[in-house]
Chain A
Amino acid sequence: MSEGAARATTDLDPVAARAVTEYLFEQGWTDGLPAVPATDDAVAEFLAHTSRDEDEIIARLPQLGREATVRDAATAAVMAGCRPEYLPVVLAVWDALALERSAQGGGWQSTSGPAPFVIVNGPIRHRLGINSTGGVLGPGFRPNATIPRAVGLTVRNSFGVVPHALEQATQGIPGRWTMLIGEDEEHSPWEPLSVDGGLAPGQDGVTAMLVRTSEFVDNRHFHAPEEVLRDFADTIARSGSWLFRHSAVALVMNPDHARIFTEAGMSKQDVREWLVAHAGRTEEHLAAVGKSLGHLPEGPFPPDHVHPVFADATPASLPIVVAGSRNAAMSMVVRVFSTWSGTAVPVETATM
């Protein structure tokens, strides 16, 4: 331990810190994990990283008559363990969520218990140390873990959506408030997700959608790109996740999977169109699990009629983001709750 670190440690008061931690639990202000106490000074330090008015309403839940200001979002960011310079990303996540019909509707209260899935593009990934490579959906990286947690604390404390009361998740999903990834633009052969979402290449951007869960596709011994595509399509079309006529699915694609598609001459849109054309289940299959779509206006359907998963081949229906290590060719199918707006939002450039 360096001399400076040793001196700093002796200045800290671990007994007081534990008492404060317990106090925050007792108040019901945390998500079940320890939180950092927010003080006026700490919040001011965070607010110094944005030019936005601290009283600006940044999040609304009209059915509960609840609102959160920039200052409230900063308070949540302090409590979540963010660093002050993360605040512009936290605010951008709320800007992005404001475009999501599911988050404006009943998403936070839903039995599905959906998570905000946040994808960050642009140089800000490096400035903040956002992980986009190995273990991208896992633990170990402060901005990945704390920025979405700040969203969760705003839902809890500003919206008052608390489990077993206004929050009615049936089983919830693992990692509800920790799903933030960077796109590994450096190892992606394609344009970043933020460009699909309307931003300029190289611009700092945030994409957010509500999602239900993630399912891995471990396909590391492939011989041809079609094998991997078929494997994706099978997981995407799994009947258990079938709820409505169509659904949207995000693919967190391994760089090695992206590589073989590119080597086969496929653009990201080519991959998307292949999957949209091939991901589906027959009426017979859906009927066998009690999910016949025969009640639709076009129904009833013959048993061999194939119902496509996707409504169309747009990035909004099937967003594709490249991330993770290429040490084993695994990708992740992420179930979008309802829809994604298809729009990425810019992150305010640091003012300090």
Chain B
Amino acid sequence: MGVGIIDPTRSGATPAASRASDAPRPDSLHGLRVGLLENGKRNAAAVLDAVGAELSGRHGAEQLVPRTKHQFAMPLPDELVEELTGICDVVVIGVGDCGSCSASAVADGIRLENIGLPTAVICTDAFAQTSAAMAELQGDPEHPYLLTEHPIANLGAGSIAARAGDLADRVARRLTTARAAEVA
């Protein structure tokens, strides 16, 4: 069956992504420069700032480097990748809370990991499916993006602080623990 019927998914598909892998992890965040790459979605910067404050206060991060990704659906511009590589030791990415930006956040995380920058990607749990689909597309189907409860766009300041308190420990763990050990 199927002989002579064109597979419509074949010719348009680009070659399968090579197997992606994590960057080497630091032992801790002490003295490190932490990039906070927010995607411009409502409350994303507030959540990452709050996470960053926790990483400084409780995990010893030395410097916070906030940056904005202006086109949340698109791949990171090369200049921004270059800049982050130069001025950050690790990067927190988020918050993926829409159809395109969640997938894109995962793709950004995998890209930075591939060039040696440890990342923690935060998406909301309503977008687990598309985060997983993008991870698979990028050659890292087991990519451990962090899920936080949806939604975040309408959280008030108090709720954001509470959320960040919970997230910061998971972010720190993701940034400092090798994949196999993290699963264990």
| A interface residue numbers (CB < 8 A to B) | 19-20, 23-24, 27, 29, 37-40, 43, 62-69, 71-72, 75-76, 79, 105-107, 109-112, 153-154, 157-160, 164-169
Contacts and interface: CB of A to CB of B under 8 A. Distances in A.
Nearest to A163: B129
A62 B129 contact: no
A108 B139 CA distance: 22
Given A110-B100, A159-B12, A168-B102, 5 more contacts: A24-B5, A39-B6, A64-B134, A66-B14, A165-B130
Contacts, number: 111
A52 to B, nearest CB: 16
A63 B1 contact: no
Contacts of A107: 100
Nearest to A73: B12
B13 interface: yes
Contact of B98 (A24, A62, A110, A160): A110
Contact of B74 (A37, A62, A110, A153): A62
Interface in B5-23: 5-9, 11-14, 17
B164 to A, nearest CB: 21
Contacts of A24: 5
B101 A106 contact: yes
Contact of A110 (B2, B13, B99, B134): B99
Interface of B: 1-2, 4-9, 11-14, 17, 71-75, 98-104, 107, 127, 129-130, 132-134, 137
Contacts of B127: 168
**Which residue, A23, A112, A168, has most C-beta atoms of chain B within 10 A?**
A168
A76 B6 CA distance: 10
A79 B1 CA distance: 17
Contact of B130 (A20, A27, A75, A168): A168
18 contacts: A20-B5, A29-B9, A38-B8, A43-B6, A63-B75, A63-B107, A64-B134, A66-B13, A67-B14, A76-B8, A109-B103, A166-B103, A166-B137, A167-B99, A167-B130, A168-B98, A168-B102, A168-B130
